Structure 1
Amino acid sequence: MPAISDVARLAGVSKATASRALSGRGHVAEQTRMRVVQAASEIGYIASPDAASLVTGRTKNVGVVIPFVNSWFFGEMLEGIERTLLGAGYDLTLYNLPEEGPARARVFDFFLARKRVDAVIVIAVDLSEGEVRGLERREKPIVCIGGSGDATARLSIDDRAVGLLATEHLLHLGHTRIAHLAGLGAATYPWSVPGLRAAGFRDAVEASIGDAHPVDASVFETRMSMPGGFEAGLQLLGHPAHRPTAVFAATDEIAFGVIRAAERLGLSVPRDLSVIGVDDHEHAALFDLTTIAQTPAEQGRLAVEVALRMLGDEALADPLPDSGAPMATRLVVRGSTARATAV
């Protein structure tokens, strides 16, 4: 197997210069660097990550903790993270985190804290104080996307404002019988994503008090998936006397399920029922769904950028972005919402 000494000899430089040229750490003239790279390519030399780790103290590996892997939203975010890490020369180790129990403890107490990752990106997970402190004691920078917990850096959208905007859109269209299909745990965990979006829904309804037509509003919890939306939609829309004229779904996937449930019951969207979701899923345009758009792949990219800056990687070291500022969202109006018909 070729060694760094072989590369150095072929390129006519010292081993130290060859190492700097291939690692990118330290100054090497561009012409020299190209000569070393060409020599390494000719003899098939591949730098050992373990050897580099001994020198730099870095593994060039980032741990990513995620609650679900079979979801479009999380898949998009992972793609943004992986693409950006690869571009920066880092590997990714993925941990599908259980909600609680010994398996979750092992992820934080052993795999992340003791094994070789330089930083941790946590997606949509509520971290305990012990989990955060355990990583910080071992000098593992933590970047959270959504979720809760006292981490140094956090990126998130304003989920309460999202719920407010979606509901205001329906109110401005004249709907006075509106239902919100929230994610499971919205009432039990008011600081969670489902809880905050439900709070935004209530804010908009309460702000409408005093209008000429009072709003009949209700909140139901369901799984944040298309089957969850379909099942809840059948229950919600099955009684004509109590049927809402508009539904704010906590995610686009719930909204897709509601639209299919309305079709099953012979209802027309948006003539009989307006539906709005959140995310701008890749199939949202196919369903002609009005939604509050966010960009999970971009969020993943930004999380990696923040992690690298916290690690102090060369030009990315300063300044650390303001991780407290909410990321952008926008209302995308399509054909699934319309003005309420007279009743």
Structure 2
Amino acid sequence: MVGEQRQATMADVAREAGVSVSTVSRALRGVPTVSPETRSCVERAARELSFVLSRSASSLVTGKTRRVAVLIPDLPRAPWFLGTALTAIAEVLREAELDLLVYVVGNKSERAAFFDRLPARRNADALMVVSFILTEEERERLDELGVPVVFASQHTADRASVYIDDAEGARKGMQHLLNLGHRRIAHMQSAVVESFAWSAHDRLTGYRQALEDAGLPYDESLVVRTENSRQGIREGVGVLLSLPHMPTAVFVETDEMAFEVLSVLRSCGIDVPGRMSVLGFDDHSLAEALDLSTVAQSAARTGRIAAELVTSILADPSGDPTRHVVLPTHLVPRGSTGPPPREGHAETAVAAQPGTRPAGSAGNADS
């Protein structure tokens, strides 16, 4: 027997059961070539010695780590979406008895270092890439890992992906504003920062398509690209408020950006939706509380289905490794959208509001 001060090893279990170390390994991993009698003997010895087969020991024999790596941008870029998706991913992997290994790339140099070193090469059985677009060179580099790669919250041709149709979702949202009577609609989009781009940028395509379908011209001055920060969004709103003819509605790329847009407009005394309607995208957990109209997607469902896709590929390597799952979006109308102001009342509506002096100079305002 093993001394109380020393942790039992596989060799100790083998001696106790009267079998080889390799037989212990096969029996504890459930390999079918081990007879029921031998497996029972090994399991009894393992229980008596309080021995548990470690993941690392198992991986030496099977070549599997029982880990799934997830590559994400840093959480501040999209804290609600990434946090919700990661929580769902972790739940599915835990149910499948798989560990979660997270790699965070926050800037251009960290991103380059990851693809140069490929640290997931020996650390995981599969890799998930969540929420940011890779270059073709980066995608080819991941192919060198030799493990399944699944993309979440983005459409990647010829590779396993779980995503929404961002353009179609945006078109639905724009149709809502058009049906309310809006004809001068702005779009606020997050700028590409540190070489990071998002599938959410495809929402601009849906915005343009809706205008075209309605027979309305695309006006580049109504598209504001801004850093996704309080100061950046405040400056973006300032650009819209400084136009010779203000828009009557703004379709914002994400709910988190829309929350700040609402705050800035109201601080300037601009009635929402009486003077300007605001439409977001995501259906963030705070959207209902803030009465924000939005195009809803499910971050939790995206994470969950992407993780289920990973586990199914690992369970059946002969299956299609490039399958796609497209998730639905739907409009959730709330109090931040309404009909545009009546003709001739738009400018007076702004002038009559107290505290509107900063509106024309909001682009230079301090946050």
TM-score, normalized by length of structure 2? 0.77
- Indicate the SS of the match to 2:123: coil
1:282 corresponds to 2:252: no
1:328 corresponds to 2:335: no
What do the CA deviations read for 1:15-52 (whole angstroms, capped 9, x no partner)?
77765564355488999989977875665433222210
Structure 1 match to 2:114: 107
User: Structure 1 181/24 Cα, relative in aligned 2: closer, same or farther at 3 Å?
Assistant: farther
Letter in 2 for 1:50: S
- Indicate the SS of the match to 1:244: coil
Question: Which structure would you say has the larger Rg?
Answer: 2
User: Structure 1 27/309 Cα, relative in aligned 2: closer, same or farther at 3 Å?
Assistant: farther
What do the CA deviations read for 1:274-308 (whole angstroms, capped 9, x no partner)?
11111111111111111111111221122222222
**Counterparts of 2:139 and 2:208 in 1: how far apart (Å)?**
32
CA contact (8 A) 2:226 2:232 kept: yes
User: Structure 1 306/238 Cα, relative in aligned 2: closer, same or farther at 3 Å?
Assistant: same
Of 92, 109, 112, the match for 1:84: 92
What do the CA deviations read for 1:218-257 (whole angstroms, capped 9, x no partner)?
2111123555433322432356x52221110000011101
| Runs of 4+ off more than 4 Å | 4-22, 27-43, 147-151, 214-217, 316-322
User: Structure 1 225/72 Cα, relative in aligned 2: closer, same or farther at 3 Å?
Assistant: farther
Q: CA deviation at 1:141?
A: 1.3
**Counterparts of 1:22 and 1:273 in 2: how far apart (Å)?**
65
Structure 2 match to 1:251: 254
Structure 2 match to 1:118: 125
CA contact (8 A) 2:159 2:321 kept: no
Structure 1 match to 2:338: 338
What do the CA deviations read for 1:52-107 (whole angstroms, capped 9, x no partner)?
00111101112211112231111111111112112211222211125534x43331
Taking only the aligned residue pairs, the percentage that are identical comes to 38
Of 18, 23, 33, the match for 2:29: 23
**Counterparts of 1:168 and 1:13 in 2: how far apart (Å)?**
71
**Counterparts of 1:73 and 1:136 in 2: how far apart (Å)?**
26
Q: CA deviation at 1:260?
A: 0.2
Structure 1 match to 2:273: 270
CA contact (8 A) 1:112 1:120 kept: no
* RMSD between superposed Cα atoms in Å: 3.5
- Indicate the SS of the match to 1:326: strand
Unaligned runs of 5+ in 1: none
TM-score, normalized by length of structure 1? 0.82
CA contact (8 A) 2:313 2:319 kept: no
**Counterparts of 1:270 and 1:42 in 2: how far apart (Å)?**
70
**Counterparts of 2:24 and 2:124 in 1: how far apart (Å)?**
26
**Counterparts of 2:274 and 2:305 in 1: how far apart (Å)?**
40
User: Structure 1 205/318 Cα, relative in aligned 2: closer, same or farther at 3 Å?
Assistant: same
- Of structures 1 and 2, the one with the larger relative CO (CA 8 A, separation 6+) is 2
